[in-house]
Amino acid sequence: MTNMNYAQHEHHDFLNASAEALADPTLQKALVRLTDTLMAGNRKGYAALADSSDLRDHAKRIKEHTLAHLDEYLVQLEMSVHKLGGKVHWAATAEEARKIVVAIAQAAKCRHAVKSKSMTSEEIHLNPALEKAGVEVTETDFGEYIIQVAGERPSHLVAPAVHHTRESVARVLSQHLGETLSDDPKALAMVGRRVLREKFRRADLGITGANFAVAETGTIVLVTNEGNGRLTTTVPRVHVAIMGIEKVIPRFNDLPVFLKLLARAATGQTLSVYTTIITGPRQPGEVDGPEEFHLVLLDNGRSKVLATPFRESLQCIRCGACLNACPVYRRIGGHAYGGVYSGPIGSILTPLFDSVAENPHLPHVSSLCGACQAACPVKINIPHMLIGLRELQHAHKPSRLERWAYQLWSMVLCRPRLYHWAIWAARVILGRRAKAGWIDQMPGPGAEWTKIRDFPAPAAMPFRERWKELS
Amino acid sequence: MSSREAFLTRVKQAVADGNRAGAVPSLPERAGVGYQGAGSDPVQRFIAELANAGGKGYVVSDVDAVMQTIQSIVQAHNARRILLSRGGLIDQFALPHKLKDAGFDVQTLDDMQANPQEDFFHADIGITNVHRLIAETGTVVMASQPNEPRSVSLLPPVHICLAERSQILPDLFNLFDLFSPTATPDRSLPPSCLTLITGPSKTGDIELKLVTGVHGPGELHVIVCG
Ligand code: SF4
């Protein structure tokens, strides 16, 4: 593994992992249910806005502008947070970020941390570092709690435990708590409430991500449906928010532009149940809320991406819509991608943050159908960037076999009679193997292709001959 | 070079390297884009959107009706301990007294001792005022301040809040303009915690089955007065 810090937990075998996912009927059912429901929400959500397309364009332009002045907005954000009595920390790498959070916990003598769902903290592998320093960490999003107890990774941006069933959740929690629990979702959620309430009551450190941060006011925003984000920023005496630098936006009244889109794109809700808009620590006279507020600004590869034509990927607001829309994600689920970020956006972020060479399959895990871009609240041109990554891959490591193949191809293309003959031969050889327009077993080196996907059968009449008839 | 300076230098360089000449966009003005408004009857729109999100709205005309509504919710839950925030309609209606007289175990911020957190964790129902309501989305807006701790609308399993008709804003944009240095130069700073509540606490983490109340209140009741 090239970079222990990065989005990838292990450079795992994509082909095997996806084959496993495809062979798991329970997962297949869960994925269809989840993605169908959320995609219906996405369409309904946009349709409910009178001018959703214009609003999405506007949101995109705000992000474009911000990224083109990112250094200035980060300095402004820092100033605003300082004015409020908060503290800003700069973390160039995941390792620096871990050290910063551990140091904050130690300085404030915190022993019990509660976490609200945060992809950024997943990305930096924060939990093991805190635990090593003697700080107990509890994930408090119910889905994240389930997978923490099960020792797994999230498999969807907004539904981290989608790969679980009621039976498996009951089994995991029963074993962990030493009780026999029923597999009724409501009853299980109430067990979650009871157990996690005790964790909150004892907690002295609250760790969150940030969906957005506002440069002009020093505000950070958390969006949750369960309310664990609120609890995490209400009960503990210290609050640490960790955010990727791309999350900053310029003005306080830019927030509603994104808030109107985020929940609609993710689930179709007008807003998520709780939008928590935090501007500094507790003020004099208030009886709850954290006394200390820390904001950790994380680079961890983002500036590298900022300098390239892949900058657009930093506009992502992590709504999960592209996952739900993607015909590939809908079949293989999140774990197959191997990274913290999965789905179409993960296929871009993981190679960029981690390594293009070490993630050879991800840029190809797409039919380039464009459904991701159509669902995306900031209209990120994901297909375009996937093609860009394929080009990069090619520049990095043109395989000799591939080079020969293309040389041969171009030689044939330059000789019309040879081309004609080759097409005829292919039609004769392949035509015999076709079933209903597809070939599922090719001869020779072509077998590698048909091992994982069918090959379209040659047309009964080549275009060149049809053309003669047509003209 | 400090790590902060090195960090910023790197970002600055990346910004410059990635900015294509002539293609650095200016900060766009929104004009009217995205404004949905609330139609001709913001109260009805609010109540309908709140119901969509799983909350329950009541429009009442006098303090007796307020008390009746609260009592019926409290009785439906067999609730004992009622936690109240301070000021606004709660004081204007003398709710703490009325509820005490009606025989409930009432806890106000004035009653609380050194460790209010324990009281917050033990209440069965929390009653608050609101900062604003948003009709477009059916949202209750809470602003933290000494009279309105974050916990009262969060920790008890049931949240009841009182609002005046005049507190309803048509659109989400209207709320953010109130605190925006850009839109309102003489505005107040945003409070330390501004919370937008749209329905009861929800999770769908197990097989997408909707369960309310996993962390925040499982019921949200909004009483609109006047
Ligand atoms: S790329 Fe777009 S659709 Fe995908 S998670 Fe990010 S914002 Fe959502």
**All structural domains of chain A with their residue ranges:** 14-303, 416-470
**Chain A: nearest CA to B91, how far in angstroms?**
18
A2 has a pLDDT exceeding 80: no
Output the CA A365–ligand 1 centroid distance in Å: 16
Over residues A127-137, the mean pLDDT reads 97
Write out the CATH class of domain B36-225.
Answer: alpha beta
A308 has a pLDDT exceeding 70: yes
pLDDT at residue A12 in the model: 67
SS3 A188: helix
**Nearest protein Cα to ligand 1, atom 8:** A319
| Closest Cβ–Cβ partner in A71, A146, A259 for B15 | A71
What is this structure's pTM? 0.92
Q: What is the pLDDT of residues A346-369, one digit of tens each?
A: 999 999 998 888 888 999 999 999
Output the CA A394–ligand 1 centroid distance in Å: 26
CATH superfamily of the domain spanning A14-303: NagB/RpiA/CoA transferase-like (3.40.50.10420)
If pLDDT is split at 50, 70 and 90, which confidence band does B188 have?
Answer: confident
Average pLDDT of chain A is 92
Over residues A135-159, the mean pLDDT reads 92
Q: Do B3 and A303 touch (CB under 8 A)?
A: no
CB contacts under 8 A, B 132-171 vs A, are: 136-139, 144-146, 149-151, 154-155
A410 has a pLDDT exceeding 90: yes
CA of A281: how far to CAs of A33, A290, A300, A425, B182, in Å? 41, 6, 26, 75, 23
Nearest to A177 by CA among A192, A163, A167, A166: A192
Spatial distance between the Cα atoms of B154 and A189, rounded to a whole number of angstroms: 17
Name every chain A residue with its beta carbon within 8 A of the beta carbon of B216.
226-227, 230-231, 273-274
pLDDT at residue A3 in the model: 36
If pLDDT is split at 50, 70 and 90, which confidence band does B23 have?
Answer: confident
**What is the residue whose two structure tokens read 């002045």?**
A69
C-beta separation of B203 from A185 below 8 A:
no
Interface test with A, best of B11, B215, B219, B220 (most A CBs within 10 A): B215
Q: How many CB atoms lie within 10 A of CB A152?
A: 15
Instruction: Indicate the burial class of A413 (C-beta count within 10 angstroms; 0-12, 13-18, 19 or more).
Output: exposed
Which of A288-292, A429-433, B44-48 has the weakest average pLDDT? A429-433
SS3 A223: strand
A154 has a pLDDT exceeding 90: no
A117 has a pLDDT exceeding 90: no
CA of B193: how far to CAs of A211, A220, A359, B84, in Å? 15, 10, 42, 19
Return the percentage of chain A with pLDDT > 70, whole number: 97
CA of B122: how far to CAs of A125, A197, B70, B79, B87, in Å? 35, 11, 19, 11, 22
Nearest to B138 by CA among B57, B59, B83: B57
Nearest to B162 by CA among B212, B92, B80, B82: B92
A11 has a pLDDT exceeding 60: no
Over residues A456-470, the mean pLDDT reads 85
Concatenated DSSP letters of A49-106: STTHHHHHHHHHHHHHHHHHTHHHHHHHHHHHHHHTT-EEEEESSHHHHHHHHHHHHH
**What is the residue whose two structure tokens read 């219906």?**
A40
Nearest to A377 by CA among A206, A157, A176, A125: A157
pLDDT at residue A4 in the model: 37
Over residues A252-269, the mean pLDDT reads 97
pLDDT at residue A9 in the model: 46
C-beta separation of A216 from A252 below 8 A:
yes
B117 has a pLDDT exceeding 60: yes
Which of A455-464, B46-55, B77-86, B126-135 has the weakest average pLDDT? A455-464
Which of A46-50, B112-116, B122-126, B163-167 has the weakest average pLDDT? B112-116
Phi, psi of A470 (to 5 degrees): -70, -35
Nearest to B202 by CA among A263, A155, A278: A263
Spatial distance between the Cα atoms of A235 and B196, rounded to a whole number of angstroms: 18
- Domain borders along chain B are 36-225
A468 has a chain B CB within 8 A of its CB: no
Spatial distance between the Cα atoms of B183 and B35, rounded to a whole number of angstroms: 15
pLDDT at residue B24 in the model: 80
pLDDT at residue A174 in the model: 96
A273 has a chain B CB within 8 A of its CB: yes
Over residues B182-196, the mean pLDDT reads 83
Concatenated DSSP letters of chain B: --HHHHHHHHHHHHHHHHPPTT--PPPPP-TTTT-----S-HHHHHHHHHHHTT-EEEEESSHHHHHHHHHHHHHHTT--EEEE--SHHHHHTTHHHHHHHTT-EEEEGGG--S-HHHHHHH-SEEEEE-SEEETTTTEEEEE-BTTB-GGGGTSSSEEEEEEEGGGEESSHHHHHHHH-TTT-TTPPPPPSEEEEE-SS-EE-TTTT--EE-SSS-SEEEEEEE-
CB contacts under 8 A, B 68-107 vs A, are: none
Pocket lined around ligand 1, Cβ cut-off 6 Å: A 157, 316-322, 345, 375-378, 380
Phi, psi of B178 (to 5 degrees): -60, -30
Q: Which residues contact A261 (CB under 8 A, 6 or more apart)?
A: A52, A55, A56, A59, A317, A319, A377, A378
pLDDT at residue A453 in the model: 82
Over residues B199-223, the mean pLDDT reads 95
Bigger pLDDT: A469 vs A276: A276
